Amino acid sequence: MEVALVFIIGGSYQGKEEYVLNRFSFAQTDIYVCTEAAEPDLRFPILSHIEQFALYAVKSGHEPTDFWRAHRDALENKIIIADDISCGIVPMDAELRAWREASGRANLYLAREAASVHRVFCGLGVQIK
């Protein structure tokens, strides 16, 4: 199934992947789960945990938003899922603060570029754009 760029955001363990699978009729095997060890595999239609990629970028001395800008064309017909790490106590560790800020900048960029943005809480999604 092809969709324009869709951005999904919500807290940890709020059912974002299940929401995407049910709403957009994909399978679990369509999801690439990002890690803090590599760039995302853009061959997958769904990229999950992009905040982990942001940590990888920060640790590598790069801005994750630059990656998304450079690969903007490859993001068409993708669903991108992010844990919202902007709430809660601000980390004392400088690298973790940089990660939180870089993740926020990447989320801002992706939300602007997306055709639709959904916030998921307790498994319930609300389209906010």
Tokens linked to 52: 């982990």
- In the chain, what are the domains? 6-127 (3.40.50.300)
73-119 pLDDT, tens digit per residue, is: 999 999 999 999 998 888 899 999 999 999 999 999 999 999 999 99
1-10, 56-65, 107-116, 119-128: lowest mean pLDDT where?
1-10
Comparing C-alpha atoms, which of 107, 122, 113, 120 is closest to residue 24? 120
Task: Give the 3-state secondary structure of 48-59.
Answer: ECHHHHHHHHHH
Q: What is the pLDDT of residues 7-43, one digit of tens each?
A: 999 999 999 999 999 999 999 999 999 999 999 999 9
Q: pLDDT at residue 1 above 70?
A: no
Judge whether 39 and 74 are in contact, CB under 8 Å. Answer: no
Identify the three-state secondary structure at position 123.
coil
Q: pTM, whole model, 2 decimals? A: 0.95
